[in-house]
Structure formats: C-alpha cells, structure tokens
Amino acid sequence: METIRRLPVFAILLLVVLTSACSDLNSNETINEPDLMKIGEFTDNDVTVIAYTDRPLEVGYNDIWFEVHEDGAPIENLHFHFNTMMDMEHHSHASPYGEPGHHRDDEYNLYHGWAIFTMPSGDMGTWELQLTIHDQAHTGFEANGIIEIDVEPSNRVKTFMTEDESRYVLTLVGPKAPSVGMNELIVALHKRESMMNFPPVLNANMEFEPWMPSMDHGSSNNVSPVHEENGFYIGQVNFNMTGDWELRFDLEIDGVEIDQQAFEIDF
C-alpha cells in the first residue's frame, strides 16, 4: 500500500531523468557571450548555432568555435558534421578542416574546430561553413545550416603539385604572432586527394631554416618540425630580430623530396 502511494513520486522522478537524457542535454544554464568575434549563425529545428573566431578569417589555419543552444539553453554532448566549401562559378571545392569534438573546450566553453582556407573570398568565389549537428546517439534533434564567411588573403598557405602530380597543401599554423626569441613552429601538411578530400600527411620529413633575405643570414638553434598528430608538425623557430623573414622548408615523403616551399613573415 505504501509502495502504491509512492508510485506517482517514482513516476515523476523517472520522467525527469528520462527527459533530461532524451533531450540530449539541455540544461538550465544560459549561454554567455564569449570574448570572440562572431562570424555567423543559423537556427534550425529551434536549435541555434553561432560561429566565432578569434581574429578575422584569413587564408591559412583558423580556429573556429561554435555555440549550440535551444532558447538560450546550451546543448551538451553533440556530434558535428562540419565542412568548408568554396563555391565558385563552375565548380566547388573544400579544404582541410577539423570537426569539433563532442564536448566543449576549457578555454571558451565552446565547441572547437578549425579550418584551413586555401584562397581568399572574392570575385572567384565565396566560402561557407556547412554544418550538421545532432545529439551523439542521433536519436533526437538534428540541425542543418550554412554560415557564409569572408576570408581575407594571406601568405600562410602553399598549394603545390609534385612531379607525380600529387597535390598538397602546406600551411603555416604558428607562430600566429611572432616575437623576438624562440617561437613554436607549427605547420600542417595535407594531401588533396580530390576536390573534397584532404587527408593529413603523417609521414613527411621536414628540413627547416629561417632566413632574412635582406640581411642574408639566418638564426641558430632552430628545430625542424616533426609530426605530432593528424598532419600537424611541430618545431621551433628563432627570430633574433624583427623584420622580414623567410621560413624555408624542404619536404620529403618516404625519402623522396617532394618540394621546397617558403613562407614570408614580416613583424
């Protein structure tokens, strides 16, 4: 009898638990405006997706963060399908990118992804971020949308074709803000297998040297980048003065030199 009297209570508790589990993650919190630049948003199925970046998007590597919420309540544990697309008059192509993980990052409490844009926006075409977002089990909501973006020109990406007609994308990721002294050097290498597919190159060997062409000298104690993960290579570059620098790379894959590339940096 006592058990029967308590059934409504259990039912209510069960309802609360099930509701919280199936709504994939709504919470009673409200979203905060991060200290970032907003680059666009869309709303689909009552779910709003906002994209942010830390500086104007430019050719090269860009960090992109996403807030996903429903009526101001942040949604947790998501699965992102994320793609970059350059829409040109007669064809379209993508570029290397990294989808956000399932969880928010520690820095901004947002979903963090990245994209490497290989050309600037302009008369040739426009860039957009294509997004599909759903809960991890894909049993609940799904939101689809496109965010159109502007990409400024820069010289941080080199696309090149080797003698065997393989095409690669070499990106100078860091240092973002070079300074005098030792800087972390990060480059990314991707292979363009098709217009839509840019898998990371995991087995490249890079010889690196910084050079000041106007001074005709380099610097000491530089460390050539080695592969860290997912096509990203990390080394060290020593800028012993401000000015115009060339970051020179000799690239090898499987012992075969595929190309020499140089990035110019002024600071």
| Least CB distance to another protein at residue 99 (A) | 35
Cβ partners under 8 Å of residue 135, min gap 6: 24, 25, 77, 78, 79, 141
Tell me which residues touch another protein (CB under 8 A). 179-182, 212, 214-215, 217, 219-221, 238-244, 266
Choice between 88 and 215, CB closer to another protein: 215
| For another protein, the closer CB: 25 or 265 | 265
Return the number of the residue (212 or 262) whose C-beta is nearest another protein: 212
Least distance to another protein, CB of residue 235, Å: 13
What are the residue ranges of helices labelled H in 78-226?
Answer: none
Quick one: 212 or 234, whose CB is closer to another protein? 212
Closest distance of CB 155 from another protein, Å: 14
| Distance of closest approach, residue 219 Cβ to another protein, in angstroms | 7
Vertex 255 angle, CA 253 and 259, to 5°:
55
Return the residue matching tokens 């963060």.
65
Nearest approach, Cβ of residue 240 and another protein (Å): 6
Cα gap 139→154, rounded to integer Å: 42
Q: Which is nearer to another protein, 47 or 185 (CB)?
A: 185
Q: Is 22 helix (H, G, I), strand (E, B) or coil?
A: helix
For the purposes of burial, counting CB atoms within 10 Å of the CB of 82, is it exposed (0-12), middle (13-18) or buried (19 or more)?
buried
